[in-house]
C-alpha cells in the first residue's frame, strides 16, 4: 500500500543543503497499523508530506496505493485520508456540518453514501452535539474528532495521522484510540500514525518504525522493539535509549 525506495528530501537553508529525510526505504502492506516514531525534527512530517504529495521527493521514489504522490496528487487524494494534529484541515469559520458538505463536493461523494457515512461517523465519534458549531469554537478534542470524520468521509484505503492525540485529555485520547482500532480491524483501513505519545503505540500498533536524523533507525514489531533493551520494561526508556543511541552514532 505504501512503498518508499531510497526516498529523500533535502532543503536549501541559507545556501547549505539540509537532508530532512535521506535514503528512506520501507513497505507497508494493506491493513497494517504502523506507528512512526522519532524525536522532533527527525523527518516524520516530511515523510508524511511526501506520502500525500505535498512535498516532492528530491531523490528516490514514493508510491502510495500504486500512485506516485507528487505527480498524481489529486487522484491519490481520493484514496488517502490525512489528519494533522497540530492544525485543522477544516474551514475555521464554517460550522462542522458545512465543512463536511464542502468535502462531499470536493470528493464527489454521492448524497446517499455521504448521508450513511456521516451518520455512522456522527455516532461512532459522537459528533452530534457540536456539528452545527463553527470550527473555531470547538474544543481540541471535538475538533480532532471532526478532523477524523472529515478525513474518512470519502472512505480512504489509507489513513495518515500526524500526531492525532497531541494535547488531548485522557478521555478524548481513549475515544480516538478505540475508534482507530475498530476502523483498522473492521474496515481493514491501512493506518500510519506519528506520535510522541507512546501509549498510542502500545495500544494500537503492531509494527513500529523509528526515524532519526532522516533515516530509519528501527523497524519491527512492538515485541522486537522491547527486545532491543532486555533490561528495560518501560517503553519510554527503550525508545529514549534508541533516540540517544542513534543520535550519537
Partner 1 sequence: MVSLYARLAWTWTRAAAAYPASFALMTVLGIITTTLDVAVILIVFANTTTLAGFSRDEVLFLYGAAGVSFALCDLLVSNIDRVSQHIKAGTFDTFLIRPVSSWLQLTTDRFNPNRLGRVLQAVLVLGYAVAVLDLEGRRLWMIPVMVVTGFVIFAALWTLVGAAQFLLTDAPELGNAFTYGGQQLTQYPLAVYARDLVKGVTYVLPMAFVNWQPGLYVLGRDDPFGTPEFMRFLGPAAALALVLAAGLAWRQGIRHYRSTGS
Nearer to partner 1, 91 or 220 (CB): 91
Nearer to partner 1, 99 or 175 (CB): 99
Instruction: Please count the other Cβ atoms lying within 10 Å of the Cβ belonging to residue 12.
Output: 8
For the record, the C-alpha cell of 20 comes out as: 530532512
Binders of partner 1: how many residues, by CB under 8 A? 35
Residue 166 binding partner 1, by CB under 8 A: no
CA distance 6 to 172: 37
**x/- string (CB under 8 A) for partner 1, residues 203-232?**
------------------------------
Contact 157, 1 (CB under 8 A): yes
Contact 143, 88 (CB under 8 A): yes
CA distance 207 to 222: 6
Q: How many residues does the structure list for the chain?
A: 249
Q: Which of 40, 129, 233, 248 binds partner 1 (CB under 8 A)?
A: 40
Nearer to partner 1, 67 or 235 (CB): 67
Contact 62, 53 (CB under 8 A): no
Nearer to partner 1, 82 or 242 (CB): 82
Residue 174 binding partner 1, by CB under 8 A: no
Q: Which string of b and e fits 212-245 if b means at least 16 CB within 10 Å?
A: bbbbbbbbeebeebbeebeeeeebeebbeebbee
CA distance 231 to 170: 29
**x/- string (CB under 8 A) for partner 1, residues 73-102?**
xxx-xx-x-x-x-xx-x---xx---x--xx
Residue 44 binding partner 1, by CB under 8 A: yes
Report the candidate in 121, 91, 88, 112 with the shortest Cα–Cα distance to residue 103. Answer: 91
Q: Which of 49, 63, 173, 207 binds partner 1 (CB under 8 A)?
A: 49
CA distance 204 to 128: 26
Closest distance between partner 1 and the C-beta of residue 94, in Å? 6
Nearer to partner 1, 227 or 247 (CB): 247
Closest distance between partner 1 and the C-beta of residue 124, in Å? 22
- Binding to partner 1 (CB under 8 A) within 104-143 occurs at 105-108
Which residue in the block uniquely carries the three cell numbers 491519490? 76
Summarize as ranges the residues that interact with partner 1 (CB under 8 A).
11, 40-42, 44-46, 49, 52-56, 70, 73-75, 77-78, 80, 82, 84, 86-87, 89, 93-94, 98, 101-102, 105-108, 154
Amino acid at each position: 500500500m505504501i512503498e518508499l525506495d531510497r526516498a529523500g528530501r533535502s532543503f536549501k537553508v541559507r545556501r547549505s543543503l539540509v537532508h530532512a529525510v535521506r535514503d528512506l526505504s520501507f513497505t507497508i502492506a494493506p491493513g497494517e497499523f504502523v506507528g512512526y516514531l522519532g524525536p522532533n525534527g527527525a523527518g516524520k512530517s516530511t515523510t508524511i508530506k511526501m506520502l500525500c504529495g505535498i512535498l516532492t521527493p528530491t531523490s528516490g521514489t514514493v508510491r502510495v496505493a500504486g500512485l506516485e504522490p507528487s505527480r498524481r496528487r489529486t487522484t491519490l487524494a481520493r484514496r488517502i485520508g490525512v489528519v494533522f494534529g497540530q492544525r485543522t484541515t477544516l474551514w475555521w469559520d464554517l460550522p462542522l456540518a458545512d465543512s463536511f458538505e464542502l468535502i462531499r463536493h470536493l470528493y464527489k461523494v454521492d448524497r446517499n453514501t455521504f448521508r450513511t457515512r456521516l451518520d455512522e461517523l456522527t455516532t461512532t465519534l459522537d459528533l452530534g452535539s457540536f456539528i452545527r458549531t463553527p470550527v473555531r469554537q470547538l474544543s481540541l478534542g471535538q475538533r480532532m474528532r471532526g478532523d477524523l470524520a472529515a478525513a474518512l468521509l470519502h472512505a480512504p484505503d489509507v489513513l495518515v495521522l500526524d500526531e492525532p492525540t497531541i494535547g488531548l485529555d485522557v478521555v478524548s485520547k481513549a475515544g480516538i484510540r478505540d475508534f482507530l482500532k475498530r476502523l483498522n480491524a473492521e474496515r481493514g483501513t491501512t493506518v500510519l500514525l506519528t506520535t510522541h505519545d507512546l501509549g498510542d503505540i502500545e495500544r494500537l500498533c503492531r509494527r513500529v518504525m523509528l526515524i532519526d536524523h532522516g533515516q530509519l533507525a528501527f523497524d519491527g514489531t512492538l515485541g522486537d522493539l522491547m527486545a532491543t533493551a532486555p533490561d528495560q520494561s518501560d517503553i519510554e526508556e527503550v525508545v529514549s535509549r534508541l533516540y540517544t543511541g542513534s543520535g550519537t552514532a
